[in-house]
Amino acid sequence: MIVSGNVRPLNVIIGVNGIGMGHSVRQSVIAQYLRDRGHEVRIVTNGGARVEYFRDLGFPAWDAWMPTLLARADRISASDAVRANIWQAPAGLAKHMRLRRIVRETGVPDVFITDYEPNTPRLAYHFGRPLISVDQQSKYRHLDLPTVGRYARTADEQRLRYFAPRVDRSFICSYVPLKADDRRLEFIAPVIPDSVRSTPVTTEPLATAYFSRYFDHGPEESVRTLTAVFRQYVPDRALRIYVQPTEIGKLRQYADGKIEIRTFDREAFIRDMARSEAVFSNAGFNLISEAFVLGKPVHLIPLPTYDQHWCAKVVHVAELGTSVPRIDGGAVLDFLNRNRELRANVVRHRDEHLAVDPRERIAAYLESLPTAGSPIFAPTTR
């Protein structure tokens, strides 16, 4: 796919939050789509593994500094931020200055895209280029969303304002309909890889699960309880649980018969999820979105963040799955008994709200921007 003759090829730098795989998967899909349209794309992320991930896909990629901004009681305090970053700040700032020099020497882009990270916003402001956000977190900045239990959006909003004090336009991914009056905001369906959308979907007597770690909140309790429920109450169904390599050693003990514990492999996990009648997981945005595109209901155990609790709550309220604070035998059985009803809800919801591929809309907007040879509109003050 190549841009039409009246569209000048763009030079784009995409900034990607390197924590977890969700941001990287989403932005790699966008980057490959833009490259296929004839645009030049480079990546700024944090962490050697993420840099290699993008380089393996053929993109120039650089490692940048990601400050630590942890919340306490739903707020990020200045004193906590200083203590967490004071020793790494000199090296981090030096790394950012090297990155600025590299961008200048290799070519200042026409536009920067940011996904929940602070580096491309600073580069965009320095070089006077437009800054576009494509993420799912920006809803916490722009919408007055309610608290969920003891969790509030305050820290997420603070983090976003620190990362990108102003953006020229914000594309916000959401698997449920959202609205805002601000014309600089545009809600889009989640960005899903073609490999997921094209995965053959069946419904077999199989449940697939994935549990991860968030600081001291690990997967062991969920794995232990879920395997016990399946072993005692649903021995006719297979259960395949995926965990990170660092967790596999202590969790293999819960495998038995039709219950398997596997090291996470994204392609294998997607294939199993597409075959499953049900999915058990923490409440990560990307996993939920991919499950819905495959027409699968989810039973969610959110990790202790506002983002995960908000994602889990809207799924539960929309009856696209269920959510509980921790794995409980009664809730698991209720979810499985409602599976057919919930699956029908997911399929209807997918066909109504998630069928449109948002990459075309993102690309069309970028291609409508003035390029480096034209007057650049001034960044907003938002």
What's the pTM?
0.92
Structure tokens at 19: 């924590």
pLDDT by residue (tens digit) across 239-253? 999 999 999 999 999
Average pLDDT of span 34-54: 97
Instruction: List the alpha helices (DSSP H) in the chain.
Output: 22-36, 48-56, 78-85, 89-106, 119-127, 139-142, 154-163, 194-197, 220-233, 245-251, 266-275, 285-293, 306-317, 329-337, 339-349, 359-368
Structural domains in the chain, CATH included, are 11-191+358-368 (3.40.50.2000), 195-354 (3.40.50.2000)
Provide the pLDDT confidence category of residue 281 given band limits of 50, 70 and 90: very high
Is the pLDDT score of 5 beyond 80? no
Half-sphere exposure of 8 (CA within 13 A, CB side): 13
Residue 379 pLDDT greater than 70, yes or no: no
- pLDDT digit string (tens) for 21-41? 899 999 999 999 999 999 999
Regarding predicted confidence, which is higher, 73 or 269?
Answer: 269
The three-class DSSP label of residue 61 is strand
